[in-house]
Amino acid sequence: MAAFQRRSKRKVLGIFLLLIGVFISASGFNIRSTPNDNLLPSVKEHDKYIQAICHDTDRCINNDCSSSSHRGCVCFNNGTCAIGDVNRCADCKDPDVFAVLEGHDCPDKYPGLCKPYLANENVYCPPSRYDACVCTVDGVCESQKANNCRDCKNSSVLAIFQGDCVYEYLQCRPSPTCQCGASNQGRNGCNYESAYKCTPSDRNQYCLKSTQKSCVCYKNGMCETTSTSRCIACSDDQVESVYEGAACPKECNAEGYGERPEL
């Protein structure tokens, strides 16, 4: 009888240990900090996608571009892509263009680029975070811990890549050798009289990633033309006013406003 009880206890213990092993094995997938498929596994494996991204020196309007074009794909900051005749040198001067793939078809989704997020999407995101490069809609890229499933829901985030940042800036940076166009005109200027004036209730709004050329003026008196939306721009508590659909005025009248833009 005692021997039978000992065998029964050993059998129950064995089953218990087996169940623990199965549980640990099954839960290991969620414990590991594994980047999502939307990220670039490595720069080498997706070299063409890295090279196609438009960055600061590509944005200079004084870049000498040829008039020739090639069949390819243009992907925009809002996550959409279109196939057609492209010229990377010329197309990257547009601040709304994220990348230009010459000689390639459009991917189903551009690696790393956040897709438009819908508030009613019910997507489970694992809590893990990993070393990544996070680029925001203002064109600044920084290395930090991130989770693209979670962080791409932030309207200020444009793209997330695994590992170190390849580019520091994705928008134009003025220098003695680089003249910036739409993304930098109108600094220290003014906005249009009909520009939207941001309110405290605008600061915590959910924003779609759709952007367009806009004039943004800050509380410190600086104004700049950039690719944004009223919702995104006004989420910054330093932004005073936003005019969507036009560059900042080149001249300001006596009342401190620019002439009405041509539509």
State the pLDDT at residue 117: 59
State the pLDDT at residue 101: 94
Q: Is position 254 within any domain?
A: yes
Q: Are residues 226 and 136 in the same domain?
A: no
Q: Are residues 158 and 191 in the same domain?
A: no
State the pLDDT at residue 118: 52
Q: Is position 157 within any domain?
A: yes
Q: Are residues 141 and 195 in the same domain?
A: no
Q: Are residues 200 and 137 in the same domain?
A: no
Q: Is position 248 within any domain?
A: yes
* Overall pTM surpassing 0.75 (yes/no): no
Q: Are residues 204 and 153 in the same domain?
A: no
Q: Is position 131 within any domain?
A: yes
State the pLDDT at residue 28: 38
Report pLDDT digits (tens) over 98-109. 999 999 999 888
In the listed set 129, 162, 195, which residue is the last one of a domain according to the structure? 162
In the listed set 127, 162, 197, which residue is the last one of a domain according to the structure? 162
Q: Is position 172 within any domain?
A: no
The whole domain housing 231 covers 185-263
206/31 Cα distance (integer angstroms): 30
**pLDDT-flagged residues of the chain (< 70):** 1-46, 116-121, 182-188, 220, 261-263
Q: Are residues 76 and 143 in the same domain?
A: yes
Q: Are residues 155 and 196 in the same domain?
A: no
Q: Is position 151 within any domain?
A: yes
Q: Are residues 203 and 156 in the same domain?
A: no
Q: Is position 255 within any domain?
A: yes
In the listed set 96, 131, 162, which residue is the last one of a domain according to the structure? 162
State the pLDDT at residue 27: 39
Q: Are residues 195 and 233 in the same domain?
A: yes
Q: Is position 4 within any domain?
A: no
Domain count, the chain: 2
Q: Are residues 138 and 203 in the same domain?
A: no
